[in-house]
Structure 1
Amino acid sequence: MRLTALDAQASKLGLSVGMTLADARARCPDLMSLPHDTEADARELERLTARMQRFTPMAAPDPPDGIMLDITACAHLFGGETALACTAAVEAGYTARHAFAAHAAAARALARYGELSPPSSLRGRRPKQSRVVCADSGLPRGFAARNDDGEEIAEEALHARIHALPIAALELPEDAQSGLRRAGLVTLGDLAARPMAALAARFGGDMVARLRAVLGEQDSPMVPQRRAEPLRASVRFAEPVARTEFVLDVIEDLLAGLCRQMEVRHLGGRRFTVRLERTDGARRQLTVETSVPSRDPARIIRLFRERIEGLADPLDPGFGFDAMALAVTRSEPLHPAQPAMDGEGGVAAEGIAVLIDRLTTRFGRDGVLRTGPCDTHIPEIAQRVLPAMQVGPAAWPDLGEGQPRPLFLLDPPQPVTAMAGVPDGPPQRLRWRGHLHEVVRAEGPERIAAEWWRKAEGHVAGGAGLTRDYYRIEDETGARYWVFRHGLYEETGEPRWYMHGLFA
């Protein structure tokens, strides 16, 4: 395991990206580390790229931590290239390094491997996370860019800076870089002075292609990230509309068009919003949600009908509505599903989803609840109640056939008096609610350790940090119970017993 990112304090301690975690902890025993979430980084990079589109429509992510901007004919709107880069970094909330060149590959190499300092406007700021922002100015030959201090950089000076870049800027495999260093080739200028044919014969055509791209001798196109078109439809009426049924018919027509758009984009709507505009300028907004992505107009229009019928304040058209807009304000991927041979596949699950949608529309988000699993193994807090619209079908952990759980849990667990073998034997006799139960069969223990990183949770008083030994027992009448001993004998001199569940 190696370090992938550091904060300012870790850098001051001498840690570096690429260092093994073991070496880092040997140097800094109190080091706090977190696992690298590559998916979260990718989502954040996409968000930042979308935000950069306010500066230029040509913005593309440069994984893992860069953004390419083509600011041709855009920089003067923000006070110049450097001012644009500084403003973009400040608004994004990150300390960034930036570079300018006539083509994307050179700007990327300069930003990542050039001797650059953070923009002056960001010095002294505490960075959330280091990011690299590459700017492609798209300038023709003979241009004059500016450096971080606002001084002009002639084409020849920038050409010299590119030639001074280390061979690491080509991002070749380590064995290829070692071969180049052994041959005495340290910078891109050293490579550019050699015949390209000889370099390709010895180090491969990929190295030559990367070198020519950075030097500007080969195109390095960028693919901008395009913002998805909003799912929205609107209509204006020649005459004001006052009938609710006509309004629902128009909503259904708009839904049909939006559902066709979602089908092409493999999306399904989760939240649909209708905005009605009256002739007197008043506006009315209606919103319905679905528990699963949907693009079925009939199903959605039923929800709007339920929504209108359940309004405490009836939909008052006044002198009539003269405009209407429908938007899908939340969508999720929805790919075509293969139907079953009998045509009944997924009917039960879809019926439950439709029922949840209708009840939620009628009674509100907090009117229909669903249990969901929690990330804990303590039984009494292993689930929570959430709005049915917020969570999907519960993905409960698979405990295996050897550790069944009772259908009915007591909340809180009830104390019992038990006679058991020492130190960790199952109960042989117990008294619960005034009745004596002789244990004829017992299975266990299933040991559940305390969660040392949490405070005391649950209902058993005075038991923070104690281990539980669970047993499945059966008494002489055939009734089956789930009991546990709270605490080991080495943890507490006198463990207590509790009844926690009843098996069917």
Structure 2
Amino acid sequence: MNAHSSPDRQAGHAHGPLQERQARQGEPSSASPAARRILALNFPYLATDRIARGRHGKAWRQTAPDTRPLVTAQKEKGAMRIAALDEAAEALGLCRGQGLADARAACPELDIVPADPEADRRLLAAVADWCDRYTPLVAPDGADGLFLDISGCAHLFGGEQGLLSDLMARLHEQGIAVRAALAPTPGAAWAAARFAPAPLVIEKGAEAPVLAPFPLAALRLDAETLAGLAKVGLKTVGQLAAAPRAPLARRFGRQCLLRLDQALGAVEEAISPRLPVPALSAERRLAEPVGRVEDVEQLLLSLAMRLKEDLERRGLGARALEYTLFRVDGAVHRLCVGASRPVRDPETVVRLFRERLAGVGDGFDAGHGFDVVRLNVLATGEISCRQGDFAQTGEDDNPDLALLLDRIAARLGGGAVTDGRHPVRRIEPVESHVPERAERRVPVTGNRKDSPAGEQAPEPAAPRPARLLSAPEPVEVVAGVPEGPPQRFRWRRALYRVARAEGPERIGGEWWTADAPEDLAPDPRDYYRVEDEEGRRYWLFRRGLYGPAGRGAQPQWFMHGMFA
């Protein structure tokens, strides 16, 4: 196997208390939680970077191809305006929102491409997915930014400066320009990422002096509030912080003071991760990328062995697992499997993911290899240690059957089993005369003894079709009155002539159900087995009766199934 872990990057930890993560890294334990550290990323040229990557490849910023100034345009307020632009267009004095006619006059060689906000969102989502290699706490920030909560994670990358440098260098290699800043609060990090001249690391307590010279737009205020503050001579964060608070709140509302307090750390601001935070996680960073499936499975086994210790200590097993593989070119593969019962045996985990890999097939592309792999436990369940006896029988006590069903679900891509509802189902009888209600699909690993219908379904009075429609479909029928069989019928715009017919088989309505009529006298169903001139056999029924017995209502005909 060609996988090697670099000494300073090996990480196998549970994303939980800081002291547990430190113990995994051989650091002294601390009872106090890690200081909050928020990394803000701003992508000022996201749209044009997307276009350049499509034209020249992801390494276009390194090869520096000779290109014209590039902008994207969209219609705003009845006129075509610039939606996004690259560095070259920005250097010419063009700006967002500028009319396209004025931009063409200033730069005749301008390269104009229609704006595609949906493609920009997809690229931002892909970058956010890639940022999971640094922390699982990644939150979107508008259409051009991300927040990363890296509290307690920086030591895995040689410190905060090392993490910041590594992230920016990798994004540059992928052809994406980024501005970044690190601070104790999301507001301070957001402001520094957009208004600081270079990547900035703000220590706790230094927010006020660092943000003081920034314009008030750094506080994420709306345009109307910014215009009002400018009229009274307040243009920087420092001036706003020094002004009396009560008059500001009366004139401009509490929002401007709230944003100021959030940036300076006086009021806590929460960020919402885009993905659920795993209960446990084990990770490995590789000095050399791997691409063979055998190596991927071997790494998975080592990660599962690490997680087994954490699960055993808690008395838990995994119900849903995610294997995340980060490619060196920025692509991310996520494989998810579920278990009908909690598992923590490493070999069992590998067998489930082996089925998922086989199900993905050619969709699993290692590219130039994976340099980071991570195994997440998304959901857990308690494993009770109880001694069995010889009398225990049934599906719930058959671990081999449960594993087989989990492997089938993994191969078919049924998803994770997080709520006890297995994607593989079986049919269970239900106490009902109505055919579409006479059965239900239940998780195949459930206990049949819990079913009120018992083990065996009652035998029907007449043959039932091989295929039963999920809901009866209306048909147009010509039939004898009052109780003659169908002679011809129209179903799904096709006309069928009946050659033979058997019936009727009457099934009475269920007056005790919630959808029964108020008089508790539901219309009966008369079922007919019919065969058309080409030998195809169908199951039709008439709901209601002709004449006085039908209480003045016209009967309706329905198609309910087809015989083999």
Give the TM-score of the pair, scaled to structure 1.
0.41
Question: Which structure ranks higher in relative contact order (CA pairs < 8 Å, sequence separation ≥ 6)?
Answer: 2
Using the size of structure 2 for normalisation, the TM-score is 0.37
